[in-house]
Structure 1
Amino acid sequence: MIRVLLVDDQHLIRAGLRMLCDAQPDIEVVGEADNGREAIALAARLSPDLVVMDLRMPGVDGITATSRILADRPAVRVLVLTTFGDDDHLYPALTAGACGFLLKDAPPAALLDGIRRAAAGDSPFSHEVLKRLVQRAVHARAETPRMPQGLTAREQDVLNLVAEGLSNAEIAERLHIGVTTVKTHITSLMTKTDSPNRVRLALFARGV
């Protein structure tokens, strides 16, 4: 069961998210917060697996709340769900430690998939956000990093599929290996490439 904390200053948004999540057998909404300060307190008290975090809220915003929640509880996953997909919101959220970034116009199925992927250790992004992230990195980096020495053939296979944006489960199916094995390879790849998160690993694999 994925224990979720919903954070959004709009009651109707929270109500819709709760209804969507409550209809799923593997997702439980354990709490709701309408501002960042309350989110920090509830995350400490309820220990959710995942926080679905809005960014623009009165008082303590979602970026500050994300940073403080993860400072206290690094194992918690924070998935941003926002109307604002611009760089001024995206990059600060990633710097704060958010594991994924979805836009509020995402279809319900995509949102539920994002929640499950984030809870499983993946980094879900709306397609247009990920596309812009890669494009910006292409223009920002003048040099292509050299591939590290010592990658196994299987690690190279996994790295190539990460670059394609596949989830752990999809990589496991493609390579006919277990999801746990995929996670082990990705952890090793992040260490060898000095990538702090999956997004940076994907960008590294693309040579940007």
Structure 2
Amino acid sequence: MNRNREAALMSPLLGVFLTLMLFLISGFVDVNAETDETDTATYTESDTASQKPLPFVPGYMDAPETAPDYSLFRSHPERYYPELDLQKAQRLSTFMPGLGQAYAGNYTKATLFLTVELGTFALAGYNIARALHYNEQSVFETGFQDDRTDKFLTHEQGQARMRNHAFFSGIFLATGIGIHIWNILDAPKTAEAYNNRRFSLQVQQTGSGFQSLVFTHRF
């Protein structure tokens, strides 16, 4: 009788104990499942971040650049500062004094060559014209009235002035030719000097993440 009573009392207790154990086991399984899902998501994000292509320069961010696109900051500065052709500069100066120097960017030298050479040839042309004028008047052996000076000149005076103008015309003509040859020889040198002064620009990144500009200048 007592055993039956104890068995009757143990049955509800055993049921409660089994129910409690089942609840604890199911809760533990749910916690483990959530933990596994969290770890899997974390690992997936880490793998995605690791598989993301790294920037070409360390320290560069993915944010779009807001700075203006200046030509000095472009990746290929040689595209905007091309090397000059020496032969082209020489041909340009042969065609016109100072044009090769202007092609090389030296406008001061180009202006000087153009002005001096044209002025020299203009003086040579003026003296040639006066020498021809006095040569034409030499047919008058008794003399002639000079329209330029408004004076009467004898035959000997006309011949003397003709020789003087012929001499100066030769001097100015030779000087103009020499200046033009100098201008032709100087044009490739000016272009070469420009090529030597060209600087290469490189945007570099320092270890602290700041950008710096590096100029290489040659004389």
Q: Same fold (TM over 0.5)?
A: no
Higher normalized helix content (fraction of residues) = 2
TM-score by length of 1: 0.19
Greater Rg, structure 1 or structure 2?
2
Higher normalized strand content (fraction of residues) = 1
Q: Which has the higher contact order (CA 8 A, sep 6+)?
A: 2
